[in-house]
Every structure is written in C-alpha cells, then in structure tokens.
Amino acid sequence: MRYMPAAQPPLFSAETSLLTAFGDRLRAARLRRKFSVDTVAARAGISRMTLFRAEKGEATVSLGTYLRILEVLRLEKDIALLAKDDELGRRLQDLALPARRGAKAGPATKASAP
C-alpha cells in the first residue's frame, strides 16, 4: 500500500508565487541580519543547498525545515500566523449549526392574564 504519491503534484501559479515570495522574504531577512548562507545552514542543521532551495521557495522543502530557518532568523513566532484566521471555515461552520432548542421563531410576547 502506497501512502505518498510517486511524484509531487504540480503547483498552480498562485501557489508558486506565494512560495517564491516567502523564499524572497527569508533571504531578505537573512541578509538584513548579515548572516551568511553557511551560518544559517549550520545553525538550522541543514545543507547549504537546502537553504538555497528554501530561499527560492521550492515546494519540496519541508515545513519543518522552514521552521528551523525561521528559528535561526528569530522569526519562528510568524509560523503561528499561518491559517490563523480561518474566515471561510468559520462561516461554513456557522451555516451548519443547528437551531437552538427551545428558541422561539417569532418575537416573545407576554401571556395575558384572564
């Protein structure tokens, strides 16, 4: 039984653009800190080639590797922002909520005393 596909499925251009922009931001953060490729790779426990691939935004780089690079750059808290605001999911969830039991359909009226 095979759990992983033999090859990575191709990315849509919008996905590729997002990853490329992320890689560019990683590289810019490294350069602002004046860290060399060797320094970041060694501290992250990855090869120089893996760092180059991450800075190009390649999809084959694991999320764990990106997290280690972010930690070296002291940006690891940014990972908590991924998928943080699931606006669509909350709307879909709200649409599927059942009506409360005992809730009246119309406005509440006082019962008249005889």
Q: Using one digit for the tens of pLDDT, what is the confidence trace for 23-50? A: 999 999 999 999 999 999 999 999 999 9
Its domain, for residue 56, covers 13-73
Residue 104 lies in a domain: no
User: Structure tokens of 112?
Assistant: 């008249």
The per-residue pLDDT for range 6-20, each reduced to its tens digit, is 777 888 899 999 999
Nearest by Cα to 40 from 51, 24, 29: 51
* Total count of domains within the chain: 1
Residue 114 lies in a domain: no
Residue 72, pLDDT > 70, answer yes
Nearest by Cα to 49 from 39, 59, 57, 37: 37
Residue 67 lies in a domain: yes
SS3 content of the chain, % helix, strand, coil (to 5): 55, 0, 45
Residue 107 lies in a domain: no
pLDDT-based confidence at residue 22 (cuts at 50, 70, 90): very high
User: Distance (Å, rounded) from C-alpha 64 to C-alpha 89?
Assistant: 25
Task: Tell me if the pTM is above 0.85.
Answer: no
Question: For residue 69, what is the domain's CATH number?
Answer: 1.10.260.40
